Structure 1
């Protein structure tokens, strides 16, 4: 078979295999597929991610890549992974448990790779678009299975409106997409492009309506006002903040009156706490309080370097109060205290906490500028910081990859823009 230029298919394929630009496009494609598949499948996301990394190898500039790792935004995640590996040496857990506990940190090694690649690729925004479209399709399926539960792919259908995965992951995705859309909506309104702004507004409202009437996590309920507050302070005037706040308050009141599901979710805060205090029941809120109390004690026992990688479950086993776990929260044993800081502090002490906070602070500082990439990157970091008060989201598969992909792609785009802005200045100096 011959192409229009006279090349055979084999020659064309060979030329593409030798082309750095073609390999770079392939990396972009797999990054887009990784983001698109993340809301639906952990396996597909992992496969596409591995393929993306493999496609970077043939034409990777090793020297330039190693230079990029010296940036603090890259060095901090690597330092936490190395600490997890070194922490296996002073842990008293079984070696299998130690290396299993290293695994949640390994995804952070992909972050410097994404920062490096998307500082050179012009297609980072397509990763965001793919994730947004994928989440929009998932919201449609959420409504479908809310009315037809037998269509859900989950074997456990206790959670209403969940087609795949769970309501915490789904709420994280919908919250991120809905709040992220605030920036382009405001920019389009200022440019008087009302039709496109209206479409994006409708999409953002669709995510919120799903969370109000189908299912939402309590973590999302707490973080949504914080995320909108960050947006308002950064991108709106005080008059606009007052008007929008009033509109949101009215909307919240109407949603509260119209949605029994929303009232049930909010009421569970108080009921869970009361049952835990009065009966020691292992409610969701009660268990978190119990995990945090014990974890603070574990941290106090080894404040500098912690108890070592994978030690958490063993510590909880030794601290468990004898009794029936169905009725006594203090008898619960877990390997994750459902707080990112405490998860790190128990295993690696203040050294680990310093590394964790360095990651968050450095990435927040990276996104100080204006523009969509800065807003998305900042939003991803802020969401991770606040939701990590109630979960170990940097180490969880789904939320951890949302952080790695979001910060990696947005950070690369920011670096690319900074480099492009610096070149004309250098030429004129």
Structure 2
């Protein structure tokens, strides 16, 4: 009997412990704290890589006890969840056939490692009702950065970090431009909806922020990659949210504004003129960005044709450029570990298999955002921005732009999936009728249609 009692106690205690953990992790305070952590991670992204890493780690630790593992495993069968994990798994397997040294092989896994958090974010924001906190935190943070950018343009001594460019308080102009472009386009649906609802103050505020972000890129500092993505996002926005007449008016206004900016911004004219100078460059002693990219891409194509199916293995990019630079001079002698194109980045290491997984992942994430509300627009803009900018950079593998993708797609994708649930659709329908007939209606799930609804 003593043995049986002891066994019974041993079985009961773990159950009680698990129940306590489940109750604790399900409390309102715990859930709110978890939401605050991911919002702080988004807010810290424009400012600090260390703070971002700390907040993301704390968020992941906080989320793990709340996961319904049975449902999470079922979710992993969905392409949007599974394909990021598959791409990381391919990077791990690619270590086996890599031609690089072991240090480079292990380092080659790191750029894609952040994709492992995408399934957790997608799953979490199917339950969390505070996804807009994350986007609001990022917008406020970028707005403060934009204001400081104008200030340090006039007073460079106020920079928070040593940077090579004027008007860049922290980090670099490449990251700053991607942030500002995304914020400008994320604000367009609220501005349009407010205009249609004749909410003039909201419309004026949103339009003012859009103009300030865009003006900063045209008059202070900008990455040409961001300038390439902006027309793509503009066409996408017009096709989804505007009538033909409104589209014509918008493009006419953009044409006039572009002419005005071109005549009043020496900075922008110089940035465009530099493309021709860089194209003719033959070494890295001066500005040679365009010529460098063309050289990287030409060599990348050669490396890919040598191992088209499985590539040269994880971390092999620098090894391949080092091998090819032997006996060369000028730009051909340059050794890099980033070919400035995400497709080439993947193909050199994992060949056609890697390309198929990369484009399948992008496609699955585009398909997440089929709606036309604010959340779907933000998610779609993030994916399209990443795809477009990855033609000129390895932005999915880069730290800053990669985290923009992971956090943005994870939050918006989870919210979009939650909105498609049958019970959520019924709840929203009941909310529009006044929440009279459905006892499970939760007003916190409902975003006011007049501000954030379909446009």
* TM-score of the superposed pair, with normalisation by structure 1: 0.92
Structure 2 residue 321 is matched with structure 1 residue 316: yes
User: Which of residues 100, 103, 111 in structure 2 aligns to 1:93?
Assistant: 100
Which of 25, 31, 46 is the equivalent residue of 1:24? 31
- Correspondence for 1:51 among 49, 58, 71: 58
Distance 1:53 1:91 in 2: 31
Partner of 2:247: 241
CA shift, 1:420, in A, is 4.7
Structure 1 residue runs of 5 or longer lacking an equivalent are 1-13
Please tell me whether residue 187 in structure 1 is matched to residue 189 in structure 2: no
Residue among 329, 332, 339 paired with 1:330: 332
| Alignment partner, residue 67 of structure 2 | 60
Can you give the 5+ residue segments of structure 2 that lack an aligned partner in the other structure? 1-20, 431-455
Question: Mapping of 1:133-148 within 5 angstroms?
Answer: 133-148=140-155
Q: State how far apart, in whole Å, the 1-side matches of 2:50 and 2:204 are.
A: 35
Q: Is the 1:306–1:348 contact (alpha carbons within 8 Å) kept by the matching residues of 2?
A: yes
Is 2:241–2:372's contact at 8 Å kept on the other side of the alignment? no
Tell me the residue number matched to 1:369: 371
Question: In structure 2, what is the Cα distance between the partners aligned to 1:15 and 1:58?
Answer: 7
CA distance in 1, matches of 2:61, 2:310: 35
1:260 equivalent in alignment to 2:230: no
Classify 1:248/1:161 alpha carbon distance in 2 versus 1 (closer, same or farther; 3 Å): same
* Partner residue of 1:102 out of 109, 119, 132: 109
CA distance in 1, matches of 2:319, 2:287: 19
Superposition pairs for residues 16-415 of structure 1, below 5 Å? 17=24, 19-155=26-162, 157-276=163-282, 283-320=288-325, 322-324=327-329, 328-415=330-417
Change in CA separation of 1:27 and 1:330 when aligned onto 2, cut-off 3 Å: same
Give the deviation of 1:21 after TM superposition: 3.6
Contact residue 282 and residue 329 of structure 1 kept, 8 A? no
Deviations 1:362-418 (A, max 9, x none): 111111112111100000000000000010000101000000011000001101110
Contact 1:337–1:343 under 8 Å retained in 2: yes
Show CA shifts across 1:296-354 (max 9, x none).
11000000000000011011011115355xxx111110011010000000000000000
The answer (yes or no) to whether the contact 2:375–2:415 under 8 Å persists in 1 is: yes
Q: What is the root-mean-square deviation of aligned Cα atoms in Å?
A: 2.1
**Runs of 4+, deviation exceeding 4 Å:** 279-282, 420-423
* 2-structure distance, mates of 1:299, 1:262: 36
**Residues in 2 aligned to 1:44 and 1:304: alpha-carbon distance in whole angstroms:** 39
Q: Number of residues paired by the alignment?
A: 410
The match for 1:6 is none
**Local SS of the residue matching 1:22:** helix
Deviations 1:19-38 (A, max 9, x none): 44433222211110000000
> For the residues of structure 2 that align with 1:415 and 1:398, how far apart are their CA atoms?
25
